[in-house]
Structure 1
């Protein structure tokens, strides 16, 4: 069983979520509820839950403030929010989950399944640290991305990613000063998380960091030579846009 608490400043939301969990997520038991960040901190310290359903915007401190006070974190987090803003992208970067109000049943059950799996991994501290780091720099490329691996997660600065290569349902990340990381997700899932001003998809199977391009070799589509010496083909249909990104004509 997963022991959970609900922290939301609107009691009605807590009641509805509790009913949904009881009906559709029988492996989750609700051990307590709180209606603000301060009470939430006390509740978590007393109950020591496996999972916290946490509203972001609350009186007397946000959900992020609550996490800051409780570090090191020993529980999983599913954020509940009515606001679709930059913080949600930061949450995604950090491999954490969120649900938009009103909560959808299918999304709730899927999030609970993922949280249940992560409880066994118990590496949430690093993901929370990555989230809080990203929230401090929401508009900058100096952010950390959580890459799922067999052992857990690898955290890398976006600016250190030289290129990504897709093979099947996996993506290999080539990172400055590190061994390559094989992540268990398709490249399409990572593309929205890689800033457009820094990364460019030159081929169905390749995304490159434009700051790591050393040379362009002419051809029908041409080839990019990366700083590590790798040669990568440019898809013909992507050539013109690539040249434009460097202020050049093809």
Structure 2
């Protein structure tokens, strides 16, 4: 039997899932239910389940708030959501199962069979680490950054930034559409400000978007070819950190 906890802030959703599991998935034993993040953390800690069915968006927070409080994750998760949003892309990249509401019986049984194999193989620990990293990255790419210029503020989607280049006390920001914006901040300020999951300073004069690299060529430090065709040198002293971040 697979010990299972159900977490959803909609009581009706818990009841529907509970009935489906009892009727179509006899290998499941429900050992706990919760209606939010705080209660969910407590229930998981006390019930020690093999598997958790976890709603993504809840009134008190979301599934990732809950999982971040339980690191390292020692149980398998099947996410349940009514929204086909950025999180779904993160699930696909991380090979993690999810179900869309209303839950389809065939999808439920198939997800459960995959989860049971993962529980036996203990592969879910790496999967959850990858998922949480991917979710953070996807969330960051949806944000905009306020860029101070000589004429005011420009708001740029982070996902549209190709790279940054130091120009004295200013910084030129290169966008994916070919546009260039001169910011009145120096490059060190951007190094401190930018999300490390996406951007890496590879040279005194350059910060690049790791998602926009086309090629990396080895050498003394090496260099990268960006998607816009520009070549950026990787300084020797920054090579180790760059490769660690690139291959993460």
Residue in 1 that maps onto 2:6? 6
Residue in 2 that maps onto 1:135? 135
Residue in 1 that maps onto 2:30? 30
Residue in 1 that maps onto 2:106? 106
Alpha-carbon contact 1:57-1:63 (below 8 Å) kept? yes
Write the distance in 2 (CA, Å) between the matches of 1:82 and 1:129. Answer: 23
Alpha-carbon contact 1:2-1:50 (below 8 Å) kept? yes
Residue in 1 that maps onto 2:46? 46
* Cα deviation code 1:208-237 (max 9, x no counterpart): xx82399xxxxxxxxxxxx9xxxxxxxxxx
Residue in 2 that maps onto 1:90? 90
Residue in 2 that maps onto 1:19? 19
Residue in 2 that maps onto 1:233? none
Please say if 1:212 is aligned against 2:215: yes
Write the distance in 2 (CA, Å) between the matches of 1:95 and 1:23. Answer: 27
Residue in 2 that maps onto 1:117? 117
Written as runs of structure 1 = structure 2, the 5 A alignment for 1:111-190 is 111-138=111-138, 139=141
Write the distance in 1 (CA, Å) between the matches of 2:123 and 2:104. Answer: 27
Write the distance in 2 (CA, Å) between the matches of 1:57 and 1:70. Answer: 17
Aligned residues between the structures: 157
TM-superposed CA distance for 1:132, in Å, is 1.2
Residue in 2 that maps onto 1:219? none
Residue in 2 that maps onto 1:222? none
Any gaps of 5 or more consecutive residues in structure 1? 142-156, 158-196, 199-209, 215-226, 228-244
Alpha-carbon contact 1:38-1:61 (below 8 Å) kept? no
* Cα deviation code 1:70-127 (max 9, x no counterpart): 1111100000000100111101111111000000001000000000000011132221
Write the distance in 2 (CA, Å) between the matches of 1:130 and 1:39. Answer: 25
Alpha-carbon contact 1:5-1:44 (below 8 Å) kept? yes
Q: Per the alignment, in what secondary structure is the counterpart of residue 84 of structure 2?
A: coil
Runs of 4+ in 1 over 3 A off after TM superposition: none
Write the distance in 2 (CA, Å) between the matches of 1:134 and 1:24. Answer: 32
Write the distance in 2 (CA, Å) between the matches of 1:211 and 1:96. Answer: 27
Alpha-carbon contact 1:7-1:34 (below 8 Å) kept? yes
Alpha-carbon contact 1:71-1:125 (below 8 Å) kept? no
Q: Per the alignment, in what secondary structure is the counterpart of residue 80 of structure 1?
A: strand
Write the distance in 1 (CA, Å) between the matches of 2:216 and 2:68. Answer: 38
1:34–1:213 CA distance, 2 compared to 1 (3 A): closer
TM-score (normalised: structure 2): 0.57
Alpha-carbon contact 1:8-1:55 (below 8 Å) kept? yes
